[in-house]
Each structure stands twice: as C-alpha cells, then as structure tokens.
Structure 1
Amino acid sequence: MTKSERLKPVAQIAESREREAARIMAEQQQHLEQQIQRLEELRNYRSEYAQRMQDAGCQGIDAGQMVEYGNFIRRLDEGAQFQLQKIEEARRLLDIRTREWRALHTKTEALNKVVDRFQNNERHLSDRREQNENDERAQYRRRDFHDK
C-alpha cells in the first residue's frame, strides 16, 4: 500500500470532521440571526406600544392606565436588554465555532496537500520506472536486431 493510500483515510476523517464543524457553525450563525430578529421584533413592538401610549395620552387617559403603559414599556426594555445578552452569547459561541472550523479546515487542507504530494511523487516514480522499462526493452530490441 502506498503512502498516499495509507494517508487517504486520515484525510477523509479530517474532511468529515471539518464538514461537521461547518454544519455546527452554520447552525450557530442561524441561531444568532434568529436572536437578532427577535430583538428587532421586540424593538418594533416597543416602538408601536410607545406610539399607542402617546396617542392614548393625547386623547386623555387616566393615571393608572399611563402607569400600566409605562410598566409594560419598561418590561419590553428589560426584555430587549436580556435579548442583547443572548445575542452577545450567540456571537461568542459563533466565534468559537468559527475558530474550531478554521482549525479543522487548515488541518484538512494540510492533509490533502500531503496526500497530493505523495501521489505526485508516486506518479513520478511510476513514470520513471516505466521509462526505464521502455529503455531496457528498446535496448534488448536493438541488441536482438544487431545480433541477427
């Protein structure tokens, strides 16, 4: 078994691990995007609710309703703050997953280059061996031709 044939399974395992890391990284990217979308929805809802509060205030509402509006807006602000923390955590995890994928990608590329180099060397040796055999055959034919 040639060196390249012995190393191919190792390279295939590395490629498999890299693909799995890429899948996990993509899932984490999607999770981050979902968290950002949730924050945007919270901010939009808060903006709409604040506009309703302002409209209701212009039409004249009692103090109790105004306090309720204010409390609800405060809870929306707290929710947005919590969502920001979730986004930061998702970004941190995405950064970790990206670094993991890059490390595996680098390893896979290196292994593939080694396999390619071994294959090129093996081809070169095979070509040289074949050329030597052809040269020997041609030499024998010349001897046979001259001997007759």
Structure 2
Amino acid sequence: MANPSALVTLIELAVKDSDDAARRLGEALRAAEETEKKLEMLLGYRDEYASRFQSNQANGISAMEYRNFQLFIDKLDTAISGQQTIVDNARHRVDGERKSWQECERKRMSYDTLASRAETARQHKENKRDQKQMDEYAARSAMYKR
C-alpha cells in the first residue's frame, strides 16, 4: 500500500486539480451561455427586421429600399452564421472541460478509495493486534489463577 502521507498529498493535489477543472467548466458554461444569448439576439433582430420589412412592403417600397433590405439581411445572416460558429466552439469547449473535470473527479475518487482501503487495512491490523494482546492477557490471567 502507498505511504499514507504520499496518499494524502495525492488526494490534496487531485482535489486542487478537480477544483480547477470545475472552475474552468463553470467559466466555459458561462461563456457558452453568453454566446447563445448573442445568437438569440441576432436571430430576434433578424426576425423583427424581416417582419418590419414585410409590413412596409405592403405599403409599397422602392427598388433601392428593397436592395438595402437584402444587403442588410445578408449582413445579418453572415453575423448569425459567425455567431453560430462561436456557439458551436463554446459548446465544444464545454464538452472538453466537462470531460476534464470528470477525469479529475475519477482520479480524486480513486485516491479516496485507496485511502479508505488503507485505513480499513490499518484498522484491521490494529484490531488483530488488540485481539492478540487480549488473548495473551486472558491466557496469562488463567495461568496465574491456577
């Protein structure tokens, strides 16, 4: 079995790594949420602009206004596409950070299990030693009573 102090050191390091991974995961989740909100805002703005254009179109618009609408919608679509890429990258980062955190947690739990087994083995050894001492004491007491 590993040296108890070495195991304690490994557990402390694993806890620190796990905490760091959890912090990075939290940051990645917040960043992903922000990118998704920006995407929703762009999509909402596009829908709003398109519906406004539809209502203006019912009243009649010039070719220049139509061309400006098309150019602006194209720019919005480009921005939406770019933001979708950013959202996908943020989600990918969240997945990576989640896997990293899970791996750190597995390692920490493994060390905790080793420490628990070492403690159980130590207690078993101590109980065995105590039982042996009690048996010897009982044997001596029985011998002296004769």
TM-score by length of 1: 0.89
Q: Report the more deviating stretch, 94-103 or 44-53.
A: 94-103
Deviation at 1:117, TM superposition (A): 0.7
Deviation at 1:12, TM superposition (A): 1.6
Q: Deviations over 1:95-126 (max 9, x none)?
A: 22122212212211111111111110001001
- Provide the rounded CA distance (Å) in 1 between the counterparts of 2:19 and 2:6: 21
Consecutive unaligned residues in structure 1, runs of 5 or more? none
RMSD (Å) for aligned C-alpha atoms: 1.6
- Provide the rounded CA distance (Å) in 2 between the counterparts of 1:105 and 1:80: 37
Partner of 2:40: 40
TM-score by length of 2: 0.90
Partner of 2:139: 139
Partner of 2:29: 29
- Percent of residue pairs bearing the same amino acid type: 26
Q: Report the more deviating stretch, 95-104 or 14-23.
A: 95-104
When residues 5 and 140 of structure 1 are mapped into structure 2, their CA distance, relative to the original with a 3 A threshold, is farther
- Provide the rounded CA distance (Å) in 1 between the counterparts of 2:117 and 2:77: 59
Partner of 1:65: 65
Partner amino acid, structure 1, of 2:82? F
Give the alignment of 1:1-148 within 5 angstroms: 3-146=3-146
Contact 1:18/1:101, CA 8 A, preserved across alignment: yes
Q: Report the more deviating stretch, 51-60 or 3-12.
A: 3-12
Q: Report the more deviating stretch, 61-70 or 27-36.
A: 61-70
